Structure formats: structure tokens, C-alpha cells
């Protein structure tokens, strides 16, 4: 039990480090708020990919006939063998058939993550033009404006930390023994679902900044603080989900449908 508590404290500290590194970039590299938010946006995308890798290691048998509705995407009849492979002795076996639970949800998750760039990169950027960068007239435009080499390196570092925490919990601590592939495949869907609600809530806020002609600095920092708070809340909720059998109200939004385990 003490080891579990120590591990959770370390992971909590790592999550605070992950969310603090872009703030350090604001100071050390002179980033604007939307350039720091670029780091968070990329990290969220990489972490979602990490969850799909975890799906391959789900050890419980999925029972599609007993699990339907909600955020359950269902399997795709891929021609994969009903076998397993252990890449490293210390890891649980990778089950090829689990790959059938990945394709159905990937397009939806990818689209919502891409739409999140509006909240992270567009809303905080009130017509800022950086020399040598394209005007913010399209999704590609404001991604290009927000990109910096330092930001990409920082995103790589924070993503590695997030993936290491994810791997430790699901693989080293063998949480995958408690989940089927169908249950694990729900996690990225639920994560982007919560983020989509955040995006919808920020749309009227963004509209208000235009109507009332609020200053660029206030808008940029306002969205940065709102999204930082949301990002930290999501990260801590997902961590709590992996440690507590009875999570709080917000964390329950991420709990997979357990109908198949009945």
C-alpha cells in the first residue's frame, strides 16, 4: 500500500511538471500564451495515441454482445490472428485480436483533437501576426503561427513523461488485467468527449471577446489560464481513475462502460 501511495505521489508530481514546462517556456523563451498552449495540444494528441497502444494489451476477454451503446464503438472485423505476443518479458502479452477495437473510434478522436486546436491555438490568438508566418486564416495557418522548434521539443518531453506514467500504470502495475480491449478503447473517446464539451463552453467566451473588443493580452492570458486549469483537471482525474475504485463525480466521466463485466 505504501508503494502504491508513493507511486501515486511521484506520478502526481510528474503531471504537475508536465503542465509547468510550457509555463517555463513563457518565461525562458518569451512565448506568447497560444505558443505555450501548442505544447499542451500536441501532448494531448500523443497521449491519446498512447491509450490506443494500451488497448492492444487488454487482458480480459471483450464481450461485444453484452456491451453496447454509450461510448462503445464496437469491433471491426480485421483479419488478425487470435494469438498473443510478449514484446518484453516484464510486459503483459500483446493480443493481436485487440486491434479490432481500435479503428472504429480513431476517426472521431482524431477529428475532435484537431478541432481542439481552435480552443488551444485560435481562440487565444486575437489576430496576432508573427513575421515570416502565415496569416491566421485557416486551421493550418494558426497551427503554423503557434509552432516553434522549442515548443515542439517541449511537447516531446511532456509527451514522453505522460506516456511513461501511462505505461507504468497500465503495463507495469498490470491494470490491463482489469480491462478488456473494448473497455480500454473507450478511454480516448471519453477523453475527447470531455474536451469537446470544454471547446463548446469556450465558444461563447470567444464570441464575447470579439463583441466587447477585449484586449489581446487579456484574451490570450484568459484562455491560457482556463485551458491550463482544464488540462490539469483532466490529467489528475485520469490519474485518480487508475488508483481509486470509487472516483469522484468528474472522474466518473472517464470510467468505461462495464456492462460486459456483469
Averaged pLDDT of the chain: 87
pLDDT (tens digit per residue) in 194-244? 999 999 999 999 999 888 878 878 889 999 999 999 999 999 999 999 998
The residue range of the domain holding 158 is 2-261
Residue 73 has pLDDT above 80, yes or no: no
- The pLDDT, as a whole number, for residue 66 is 59
Q: List the beta strands (DSSP E) in the chain.
A: 84-85, 94-95
pLDDT score recorded for residue 47: 98
Q: pTM of the full predicted structure?
A: 0.91
| Residue 127 C-alpha from the chain's centroid | 27
Question: Quick check: 50 and 187 in contact, CB under 8 A?
Answer: no
Looking at the structure of the chain, the number of domains it has is 1
Query: 59-72 burial string, b = 16+ CB within 10 Å, else e?
Result: bbebeeeebeeebb
23 in Cβ contact with 240 (< 8 Å): no
Amino acid at each position: 500500500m505504501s508503494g502504491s501511495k508513493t507511486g501515486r505521489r511521484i506520478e502526481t508530481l510528474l503531471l504537475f511538471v508536465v503542465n509547468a514546462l510550457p509555463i517555463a517556456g513563457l518565461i525562458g523563451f518569451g512565448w506568447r500564451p497560444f505558443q505555450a498552449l501548442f505544447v499542451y495540444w500536441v501532448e494531448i494528441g500523443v497521449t491519446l495515441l498512447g491509450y490506443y497502444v494500451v488497448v492492444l494489451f487488454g487482458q480480459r476477454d471483450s464481450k461485444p454482445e453484452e456491451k453496447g451503446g454509450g461510448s462503445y464503438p464496437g469491433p471491426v472485423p480485421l483479419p488478425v490472428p487470435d494469438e498473443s505476443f510478449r514484446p518484453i518479458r516484464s510486459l503483459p502479452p500483446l493480443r493481436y485480436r485487440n486491434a479490432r477495437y481500435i479503428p472504429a473510434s480513431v476517426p472521431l478522436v482524431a477529428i475532435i483533437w484537431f478541432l481542439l486546436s481552435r480552443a488551444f491555438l485560435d481562440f487565444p490568438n486575437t489576430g496576432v501576426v508573427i513575421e515570416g508566418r502565415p496569416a491566421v486564416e485557416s486551421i493550418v495557418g494558426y497551427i503554423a503561427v503557434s509552432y516553434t522548434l522549442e515548443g515542439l521539443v517541449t511537447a516531446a518531453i511532456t509527451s514522453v513523461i505522460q506516456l511513461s506514467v501511462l505505461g507504468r500504470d497500465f503495463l507495469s502495475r498490470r491494470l490491463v488485467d482489469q480491462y478488456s480491449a473494448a473497455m480500454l478503447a473507450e478511454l480516448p473517446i471519453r477523453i475527447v468527449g470531455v474536451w469537446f464539451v470544454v471547446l463548446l463552453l469556450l465558444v461563447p467566451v470567444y464570441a464575447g471577446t470579439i463583441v466587447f473588443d477585449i484586449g489581446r493580452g487579456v484574451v490570450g492570458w484568459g484562455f491560457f489560464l482556463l485551458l491550463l486549469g482544464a488540462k490539469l483537471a483532466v490529467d489528475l482525474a485520469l490519474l485518480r481513475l487508475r488508483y481509486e475504485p470509487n472516483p469522484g463525480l468528474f472522474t466518473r466521466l472517464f470510467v468505461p462502460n462495464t456492462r460486459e463485466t456483469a
